[in-house]
Amino acid sequence: MTRARALKQVIRARAARTGERYTTARRHVLEDSQQRSVAQPRALAALQPRIPSAAGSKGGPSDASTIAKTGHGFDHWFAILDRFDAVKKGHTAAARHLRQAHHVDGWYAQGITLAYERARGVRVANQRFDGAFEVSVSKVIAADAAAVIRALTDPRRRWRLSGAGAELLEAFWAALDSPASKGFVVRPDGLGRLRYQWDGTTVQLYLLPKPGGKVSVVATNAKLEGPAMVEERRAQWRALLNALAASLT
């Protein structure tokens, strides 16, 4: 199939789906194609793990990154979701609408929908679309991943992290010492992860190598009960990451 014929099929499919005239559908398809060509290739993005950043506590992408990725900011997408009656139809239908009708990348469709729901008072900060709460805390440490793992797992060095708080540390050591624990899983490219359950919540620690012999440690605690628990866990994880950085200086 030639490129021109394939393009016509895409245009006709959009016209049939949206009810637009052929010329209008063609203009939208060509605009979308141009936006994708100047954006970072999705194939490269797929090689990177989907790891929450320190801004994850605010929930999803920023307005600036949304403009860079989709060509439009929150005002544009919120207006579309208003017309779709997204509050009434729910999160899943709204995110699907952005993906299917407007060709928004899946992760951005979720993030835009979450931001919309918070702006419309349907959801609060740190609350996921499933209703549970989540918090992420990160810190860049002047050490490599191997040194960070040793500092966290070596029983002889545990006293150096005592400033992090007994509750968090007890759960952390119990998870590491459990016979079922796999410990830190480190990929060939240096990315590491530790996952465990803590009192009904899910904890994931990520290690992301940085230039200059540094590593970003990201702690994500999910399935939290509410905003009060979010702030409690945020303080605990900040204390641990600060104690970890101090132990490696």
Q: Residue 35: what pLDDT?
A: 56
Task: Tell me which of 43 and 78 has the higher pLDDT.
Answer: 78
Predicted pLDDT of residue 67: 92
User: Torsion over CA of 162, 165, 171 and 175, rounded to 10 degrees?
Assistant: -40
Sorted by where each begins, the domain ranges of the chain are 1-38, 60-124, 133-247
Q: What 3-state DSSP class applies to 108? A: helix
- In contact, 28 and 21? CB cutoff 8 Å: no
CA–CA distance, 148 with 216 (Å, rounded to integer): 10
Residue 1 in this model has a pLDDT that exceeds 80: no
Short-list 50, 46, 47, CA closest to 206: 50
Query: Binning pLDDT at 50, 70 and 90, where does residue 148 land?
Result: very high
DSSP state of 40: P
pLDDT over 80 at 41, yes or no: no
Eight-class DSSP state of 127:
B
| Angle subtended by helix axes 227-247 and 166-177, to nearest 10 | 70
Confidence of residue 40 (pLDDT cuts 50, 70, 90): very low
Beta bridge partners of 207: 192, 217
Position 126 confidence tier, pLDDT thresholds 50, 70, 90:
low
Average pLDDT over residues 121-141: 77
CA-wise closest residue to 130 among 98, 177, 167, 92: 92
In eight-state DSSP terms, residue 41 is: P
The answer to whether 239 and 164 have CB atoms below 8 angstroms apart is yes
- Dist CA 82 CA 92 (whole Å): 15
pLDDT of 78 = 93
**Residue of 202 and 118 predicted with greater confidence:** 202
Please determine, for residue 57, whether its predicted confidence score (pLDDT) is greater than 50: no
Q: What is the mean pLDDT of residues 176-192?
A: 87
8 Å CB contact between 55 and 106? no
pLDDT on residue 139: 94
Residue 62 has pLDDT above 80, yes or no: yes
Give me the CATH code for the 133-247 domain, please: 3.30.530.20
Instruction: Determine the pLDDT at residue 4.
Output: 66
Q: Is the pLDDT of residue 34 over 90?
A: no
Work out the average pLDDT over 200-222: 93
Helix (H, G, I), strand (E, B) or coil at 154: coil
Checking if the pLDDT of 225 tops 80, the result is: yes
List, for residues 150-170, the tens digit of each pLDDT value.
999 998 888 889 878 889 999
In the chain, the percentage of residues whose pLDDT exceeds 90 is: 40
pLDDT score recorded for residue 130: 63
